[in-house]
C-alpha cells in the first residue's frame, strides 16, 4: 500500500512508527512530518491547510490511503476534499468533525439524542452567561465554542473565576472567534478517561482506552495543556465499561451524526467522566488523542494498517478486537519547552535521544522538534513524548522515566507523576 500521513506532531510520529512496521506498506509519505517521522516516512513540503496540494500529491502518486492526524484540517474539510478526488481517507468529513470543531454543536447533538453529558447552555452575551453561572453555582466550566489547542476549557472554582473567564472569552476576545460563543456547563466529579472507537460508516468497534494528564504540573495543578502524559490500559474502563460506553455513548452519537447527514469515517475520541451516575461525555474529538495515541500504538500488538484501510474504504470492521489484547501497559511522558503552555522559545539544542532509546521498551516520539544546521532542536511547546512499554504499568513507568533522565534541553520540564494514581491504586489492592 501507498500511504500518505497528514500531520507533524507526536501523535503522527506514533502513527508513522506503527504504520511503517506493517508488511503491507510499500511507501509512506508524511506531510509535513517532523524529524522523528522522517525516520519512517518521506516528508513532504506540504502544509496542513493545503488541501489542493495534498490531494494533487495523493492522486499523482497513486496513494491508496490518506490518514489525517490532527483536528484542524478535518474540521476545515480536508477529508471531504480528498474524497471528492476518489481517495480513501481515514478521518471524518467537516460535518462529522464538527463534533470537535464546535462544542455548541456537540452539546446540542447530545442533548437532542439523550447522550449523557454535563448540563449546559450556550452564550454570546456575557450578562446572560454570568446569570447562568449563578444558577449552576461554582465550580463550573467555561468553554470556547471553537478550537483553542486544548486550552479553551476553563475550570472555574469560584463565581469570580467564572466571571473572569467569561470576560476573557466574550469581552476581551482572547481566543479570537473561537471564543465569540461559549458553552457553560456544570462541573462533573469522577475519574477522567479517553476512549477511542473506530467507525467506518457502516460499523463501529472499540479500539482502546487511555488516561491523559491535562494540567502542566504534578498533582493536577496549573493550567491545562494539550496533554502532559498518558498511560494505557485504564482499569476503570475495563471491557464491561467499554461495552457500556459503546452502547450508551458511542453508538447513539454515530447514529445521530449519520441521521443528520454526517456519517463518520475515522476514530471517534470520547473524553469521558466516569461519574457516580455512570459515564458522561466531557468532549468529543474527531481524531486520536495526543499523547494517548503514543501509548495506544506502543501497546498494540497487531497490524494497524488493515484497520485504517477498512475504516477509510467504508468496509465492515471485524467484530472482535484481538489487536488490543496484549498483557502489556504503556506510558508516555511529554517533555515540554520552558514556559509551556504559556510563551516559550524554540531552536534549543536537544541531546540524549539515542541514550534514552537504549532503555529497553522505550521509544521517543517527536512532537515539536526541528533541525538547525543538522542539529536536533526544539520547535514547539510539547517537544518529545518518551514512551515505554512493559509487562505491567510499574515497569513501563520506570522505563519511561529512565528514558526521560537521559534527555536534556534548556528549560525542559515534565510531570513526574504520570500514571502515579493508577499505580497507587494497583498497589493498594
Using the minimum distance from each CB to ligand GLY, give the nearer residue, 63 or 334: 334
411 sits near ligand GLY (criterion: CB under 6 A): no
* CB-based closest residue to ligand AMP: 153
Using the minimum distance from each CB to ligand AMP, give the nearer residue, 313 or 420: 420
Q: Give the shortest CB-282-to-ligand AMP separation in angstroms.
A: 5
100 sits near ligand GLY (criterion: CB under 6 A): no
**190 upstream amide cis, omega within 30 of 0:** no
290 binds, among ligand AMP, ligand GLY, none (CB under 5 to 8 A by kind): ligand GLY
128-167 mask for ligand GLY (x: CB under 6 A)? ----------------------x-----------------
Strand duo 362-366 + 382-390: pairing: antiparallel
Burial group, residue 127, by CB count within 10 angstroms (0-12, 13-18, 19+): exposed
> From the list 9, 201, 289, 341, which residue makes contact with ligand GLY (rule: CB under 6 A)?
289
| Alpha carbon separation from 179 to 141, 155, 166, 271 (Å, rounded) | 14, 15, 9, 21
User: Residue 233: what are its φ and ψ, rounded to 5°?
Assistant: -80, 170
Q: Is 267 in a helix, a strand, or coil? A: strand
289 binds, among ligand GLY, ligand AMP, none (CB under 5 to 8 A by kind): ligand GLY
Q: What share of residues in the chain are helix, strand, coil (percent, to 5)?
A: 35, 30, 35
Secondary structure (DSSP) of 94-109: HHHHHHHH-HHHHHHH
Nearest-5° angle of CA 17, CA 411, CA 408?
50
Candidate ranges 73-81, 106-114, 243-251, 285-293; the one touching ligand GLY (CB under 6 A)? 285-293
* CA 152 to mean position of chain CA atoms: 15
Q: Which residues pair with 167 in a beta bridge?
A: none
Nearest-5° angle of CA 174, CA 177, CA 182?
80
Strands (E), 33-131: 42-43, 65-68, 89-90, 120-123
> From the list 54, 67, 153, 305, which residue makes contact with ligand AMP (rule: CB under 6 A)?
153
194 sits near ligand AMP (criterion: CB under 6 A): no
Strands (E), 287-422: 329-336, 362-366, 369-372, 375-378, 382-390
Q: Give the shortest CB-162-to-ligand AMP separation in angstroms.
A: 13
> From the list 24, 155, 256, 258, which residue makes contact with ligand AMP (rule: CB under 6 A)?
155
> Could you identify the residue written with the cell 500504538?
297
Q: Residue count at the site for ligand AMP (CB under 6 A)?
A: 14
155 binds, among ligand AMP, ligand GLY, none (CB under 5 to 8 A by kind): ligand AMP
101 sits near ligand GLY (criterion: CB under 6 A): no
Using the minimum distance from each CB to ligand GLY, give the nearer residue, 185 or 290: 290
Three-state SS string over 110-169 comes to HHHHCCCECCEEEECCHHHHHHHHHHHCCCEEEEECCCCCCCCEEEECCHHHHHHHHHHH
Interface of this chain with ligand AMP, residues 91 to 120, rule: CB under 6 A: 118
The two counts, helices (H) then strands (E), for the chain are 15, 21
Interface of this chain with ligand GLY, residues 217 to 246, rule: CB under 6 A: 226-227
227 binds, among ligand AMP, ligand GLY, none (CB under 5 to 8 A by kind): ligand GLY
185 sits near ligand AMP (criterion: CB under 6 A): yes
368 sits near ligand GLY (criterion: CB under 6 A): no
Between CA 267 and CA 48 the distance in angstroms is 19
Candidate ranges 128-136, 187-195, 198-206, 347-355; the one touching ligand AMP (CB under 6 A)? 187-195
Residues of this chain that interact with ligand GLY (CB under 6 A) are: 150, 212, 226-227, 285, 289-290, 292
Residues of this chain that interact with ligand AMP (CB under 6 A) are: 118, 141, 143, 153, 155, 185, 187-188, 192, 214, 224, 271, 282-283
Amino acid at each position: 500500500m501507498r500511504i500518505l500521513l497528514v500531520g507533524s506532531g507526536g501523535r503522527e510520529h506514533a502513527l508513522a512508527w506503527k504504520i511503517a512496521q506493517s508488511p503491507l506498506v510499500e511507501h509512506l509519505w508524511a506531510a509535513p512530518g517532523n524529524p522523528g517521522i522522517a525516520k519512517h516516512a518521506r516528508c513532504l513540503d506540504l502544509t496542513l491547510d493545503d488541501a489542493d496540494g495534498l490531494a494533487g500529491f495523493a492522486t499523482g502518486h497513486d496513494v491508496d490511503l490518506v490518514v489525517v492526524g490532527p483536528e484542524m484540517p478535518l474540521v476545515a474539510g480536508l477529508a471531504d476534499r480528498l474524497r471528492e478526488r476518489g481517495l480513501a481517507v481515514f478521518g471524518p468529513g467537516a460535518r462529522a468533525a464538527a463534533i470537535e470543531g464546535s462544542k455548541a454543536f456537540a452539546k446540542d447533538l447530545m442533548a437532542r439524542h439523550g447522550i449523557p453529558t454535563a448540563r449546559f447552555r450556550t452564550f454570546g452575551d456575557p450578562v446572560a452567561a454570568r446569570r447562568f453561572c449563578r444558577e449552576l453555582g461554582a465550580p463550573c466550566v467555561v468553554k470556547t465554542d471553537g478550537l483553542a489547542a486544548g486550552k479553551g476549557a476553563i475550570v472555574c472554582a469560584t463565581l469570580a473565576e467564572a466571571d473572569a473567564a467569561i470576560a476573557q472569552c466574550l469581552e476581551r476576545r482572547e481566543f479570537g472567534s473561537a471564543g465569540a460563543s461559549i458553552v457553560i456547563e456544570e462541573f462533573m466529579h469522577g475519574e477522567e478517561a479517553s476512549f477511542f472507537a473506530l467507525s467506518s460508516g457502516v460499523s463501529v468497534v472499540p479500539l482502546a482506552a487511555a488516561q491523559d494528564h491535562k494540567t502542566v504540573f504534578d498533582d493536577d495543578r496549573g493550567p491545562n495543556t494539550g496533554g502532559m502524559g498518558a498511560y494505557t490500559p485504564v482499569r476503570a474502563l475495563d471491557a464491561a465499561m467499554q461495552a457500556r460506553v459503546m452502547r450508551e455513548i458511542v453508538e447513539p452519537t454515530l447514529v445521530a451524526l449519520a441521521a443528520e447527514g454526517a456519517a463518520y469515517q475515522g476514530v471517534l475520541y470520547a473524553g469521558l467522566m466516569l461519574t457516580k451516575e455512570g459515564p458522561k461525555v466531557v468532549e468529543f474529538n474527531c481524531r486520536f488523542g495526543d499523547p494517548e495515541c503514543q501509548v495506544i500504538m506502543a501497546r498494540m500488538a497487531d497490524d494497524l494498517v488493515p484497520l485504517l484501510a477498512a475504516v477509510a474504504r467504508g468496509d465492515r470492521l471485524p467484530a472482535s478486537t484481538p489487536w488490543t489484547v496484549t498483557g502489556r501497559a504503556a506510558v508516555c511522558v511529554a517533555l515540554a519547552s520552558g514556559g509551556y503552555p504559556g510563551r516559550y522559545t524554540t531552536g534549543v539544542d536537544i541531546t540524549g535521544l539515542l541514550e534514552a532509546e537504549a532503555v529497553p521498551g522505550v521509544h521517543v516520539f517527536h512532537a515539536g522538534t526541528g533541525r538547525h544546521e543538522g542539529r536536533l532542536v526544539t520547535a514547539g511547546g510539547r517537544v518529545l513524548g518518551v514512551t515505554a512499554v512493559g509487562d505491567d504499568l510499574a515497569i513501563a513507568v520506570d522505563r519511561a522515566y529512565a528514558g526521560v533522565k537521559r534527555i536534556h534541553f534548556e528549560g525542559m520540564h515534565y510531570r513526574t507523576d504520570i500514571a502515579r494514581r493508577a499505580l497507587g491504586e494497583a498497589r493498594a489492592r
